[in-house]
Structure 1
Amino acid sequence: MLQALIDFYTSTGFYGINIGSILMMIVACIFLYLAIVKGFEPLLLVPISFGMLLTNLPFAGMMAEPLMEVKEHLSDTGVMHYVVHTAEPGGLLYYLFQGDHLGIFPPLIFMGVGAMTDFGPLIANPKSLLLGAAAQFGIFVTFLGAIASGLFTAQEAASIGIIGGADGPTAIFLSSKLAPHLMGPIAVAAYSYMALVPIIQPPIMTALTSEKERKIKMSQLRMVTKKEKVIFPIVVTIIVSLIVPPAATLIGMLMLGNLFRECGVVGRLEDTAKNALINIITIFLGVTVGATATAEAFLKVETLAILALGVVAFGIGTGSGVLLAKVMNKMSKTPINPLLGSAGVSAVPMAARVSQVVGQKADPSNFLLMHAMGPNVAGVIGSAVSAGVLLSLFG
């Protein structure tokens, strides 16, 4: 009886628990608190943090790989055959994670984002493309910083740098191609910083702008025709894919989703892409990204360096967008609020909302949201193009 009790105890998670798994479960609970109680992007943080919790439960085997066996079989003709079969199936999250590992989920997310995105503000104000491009500056500065640290290869540094675009799917897509072993920390860092946009960006924005600049009111955007909106995704797909072929997967899916939205003849496809499909993929992507956050993968120097470099990349991207907007304001005949530059990162629509909130703190009658959506959606395109450039150079 005693031996049976001992055997039962050694099969429980209490027997296998250690300091590392306890720390990671505490981190997961902190993320859950931020998502549920503080409301920090719960659609991202709830599945990510719960996946983190599941993967650190001892003996649960949620990310366990399948155990394969090879058996010999002698045929009637005397020929030896080798048969591979599954001795033990892998964990549920291991199979779902293949959508991340194979680069399937990120393009599908982009399709849903495209179906939800109105590129009208960008079409109405093409100068927004410059702000979206400027915000990608953090990617390349951080890439150089990661190389200089001596801790990472060029492929690893490129995957870390893309965190500066504040685009989780793009970070997963690029790291799955260049540095699969770092996908976990990179993905968690990218999605965590996306969720923390309302905390990270405002201090940078206020430090780089004066109150007078934050009070600048923008003139109303022109009306964009349906023909322009239909032509835009087709033209962008062709041009970007010809210039940077590796970006075709992300840009193509983004623009396909947008074409569903704007063409007006595939309402069911648009509805599926922006509702059911993106919600399902968000659950799978979030939980499996969190499931990569094991104690073994996270509690080491390289991971801390990735988290530090990621926030630096995000900060530089935000700052460079604001600084370019300040320059454009000085040179433009029509006033440009520098706060729009911070929206050039790819966190849609969070970064645009932050521009609106910070602008209204300076002047409650100031409405910047629609203007900020221009650089915000330009940032989505910019991060995909940046990923394509890095993939071309180091893939």
Structure 2
Amino acid sequence: MNKKLIASLLISFLCMFSINAFASSTTHENVKVEEVKHEYKAKTLNELVESFYRTTGINSFLNPSDDVMTSEAHAEDARPMTTFEQTFGRLIMFTVCFVLFYLAIAKGFEPLLLLPIAFGGLLANIPLAGIGGENGMLGIIYNMGIANGFFPLLIFMGVGAMTDFTPLLANPKAALLGGAAQFGIFGSLVGAVAIGFDLQSASAISIIGGADGPTSIFIANRLAPELLGAIAVAAYSYMALVPVIQPPIMKALTSEAERRIKMPKLRKVHKLEKLFLPILILMMAIILLPESTPLIGAFAFGNFLKQSGVVERLSDTMQNSLINIVTIFLGLGVGSKLAADKFLVLDTLGIMVIGLLAFSAGTAAGVIMAKVMNKVSSEDNQINPLIGAAGVSAVPMAARVVSKVGQEYDKSNVLLMHAMGPNVAGVIGSAVAAGVLLSIF
């Protein structure tokens, strides 16, 4: 009985002590709150309205100096923003984003790429919000997977799982077309040096010539991280605009008779050939160009799992869920670099021009190589020169464009599978070119 009484008294004492301590703490906090409240200065109705107005986008456009975006949105590589960039610059970028919306929705130009990029650009140019800043949504996405080169590897893994090597194995000559189209990469390297970029920066810029977004991000992250945003925007813009850029070049370099050429049916490829090819490509990269193995390794891994036929769930995830999720984040992250203070500068505009010329040169080189190969091919084994344009790395966009242009002149002429050969070779070729540049510089 005495033990129970003693225990009850101890419990009562502890409860009273806890209550007193809590009350003391609360009182102390209340004093602090009162002190804070005491420091607050009452405002008139006019001052409240003015305070609200200063946080609106209207004030930000009319009085750019009040925009906190200038100090926190792009702290890492920001420079002083001029009045033009903050007002008219944003309006120009809004217009650019709406044009991209139009191309994606009304014209159907690669909406999977253009819509996330354009929407990211729209968000990046919203005043005051700081969405594109280091701690904003777009900034977090950019640092999470683009700045460190992680998203490109996941994209390559998904592309590998989606790729069918059958056209390339059935017609190995198509690899020459993929190689010829890489002329744009080395042409843009010379062009970038000519206008004042150093060799490392020029090497990073040059990959745009292959229209390979993931590889462009990967090599820029290693050689010229300060240009990463501009290079990513240029590379993905030209990837998405393949249906606009390539057809005029293809038509200018070929005759109507050449566009009507029907290619012989591809031979049947054994499953073991498709299974061993990604391993062979990876081993060659390891031996000759280890610098390219992150990209080629991710690509080979995705393709090997697909060709094995025993992990359909993993292959399906890489082809669909994984690549779709990464594409959303990648598009928004790239779009964050469409902010006026980053895009409307001479370096970025110069990179865009170099990229356009290089991509055009790569397309032309592929078509010309196909015409040359026709000269040494037999009459019953002719090559439609249009498929040379698919040698750039924009897979499968370039192959679809080739097929569409070919059917404009002969609806029965199906070039898609033939064009996939150089298209796949172009993906590997751009990764190899990146490895060469990384190993040198």
TM-score with structure 1 setting the length: 0.92
Amino acid aligned to 1:10: R
Q: Deviations over 1:185-227 (max 9, x none)?
A: 2111111111111111111111111111111110111111111
Which residue of the other structure, out of 336, 357, 361, is the alignment partner of 2:383?
336
| Correspondence 1:90-105 to 2 at 5 A | 90-98=135-143, 99-105=145-151
Aligned to 2:112: 43
Quick one: which amino acid aligns to residue 169 of structure 1? P
Quick one: distance in 2 between partners of 1:64 and 1:212? 54
1:16 equivalent in structure 2: 60
Give the structure 1 partner of residue 179 of structure 2: 133
Q: What are the equivalent positions in structure 2 for 1:1-395 lying under 5 Å apart?
A: 1-17=45-61, 18-65=87-134, 90-98=135-143, 99-150=145-196, 152-333=197-378, 334-394=381-441
More helix per residue: 2
Residues in 2 aligned to 1:95 and 1:40: alpha-carbon distance in whole angstroms: 28
Measured after TM superposition, the shift of residue 301 of structure 1 is 1.6
Percent of aligned pairs sharing the same letter = 59
| Partner residue in 2 for 1:70 | none
Counterpart of 2:105, as a letter, is: I
1:362 deviation in Å? 2.2
Separation (CA, whole Å) in 1 of partners of 2:412 and 2:108: 25
Q: CA deviation at 1:13?
A: 2.4
State the Cα distance separating 1:349 from its structure 2 match.
Answer: 1.1
TM-score by length of 2: 0.82
Report the equivalent of 2:19. Answer: none
The one-character-per-residue Cα deviations of 1:267-299 (angstroms, maximum 9, x if unpaired) are 111011111110000000000000012111111
Point out the more displaced range, 371-380 or 327-336.
327-336
Give distance in 2, aligned partners of 1:31 and 1:198. Answer: 14
Could you report, residue by residue, the CA deviation over 1:119-146 in whole angstroms, capped at 9, with x for unpaired residues? 1111111111111010000110111011
Q: How far apart are the structure 2 equivalents of 1:345 and 1:393?
A: 23
1:77 maps to none
Per-residue deviation, 1:12: 2.1
Q: Which amino acid in structure 2 is aligned with residue 179 of structure 1?
A: A
Deviations, residues 51-108 of structure 1 (Å, cap 9, x unaligned):
000011011111222xxxxxxxxxxxxxxxxxxxxxxxx1122121121000100010
Distance in 2 separating the partners of 1:39 and 1:5: 45
Gap runs ≥5 in structure 2: 1-44, 62-86
Q: For 2:418, give the aligned amino acid.
A: H
Q: Distance in 1 between matches of 2:326 and 2:57?
A: 30
Alignment correspondent of 2:36:
none
Q: Could you tell me how far 1:387 is from its partner in structure 2? A: 1.1
- Provide the rounded CA distance (Å) in 2 between the counterparts of 1:172 and 1:14: 35
Q: Deviations over 1:224-258 (max 9, x none)?
A: 11111110111101102321111101100011000
The structure number with the bigger radius of gyration is 2
**Gapped runs of 5+ residues in structure 1?**
66-89
RMSD: 1.0
Distance (Å, rounded) in 1 between the aligned partners of 2:211 and 2:195: 22
1:292 alignment partner, SS class:
helix
Partner residue in 1 for 2:20: none
Secondary structure in structure 1 of the residue aligned to 2:250: helix
Counterpart of 1:324, as a letter, is M
User: How many pairs are equivalent?
Assistant: 369
**SS of the residue 2:51 aligns to:** helix
Deviation track 1:351-393 (CA, whole Å, cap 9, x = no partner) reads 1111112212222221111111000111110111111111112
Q: Which stretches of structure 1, 4 residues or longer, exceed 3 Å deviation after superposition?
A: none
- The separation in 2 between residues aligned to 1:92 and 1:357, in whole angstroms, is 38
Shift of 1:165: 0.6
Distance in 2 (alpha carbons) for counterparts of 1:365 and 1:280: 37
Aligned letter for 2:60? G
Secondary structure, aligned partner of 2:338: coil
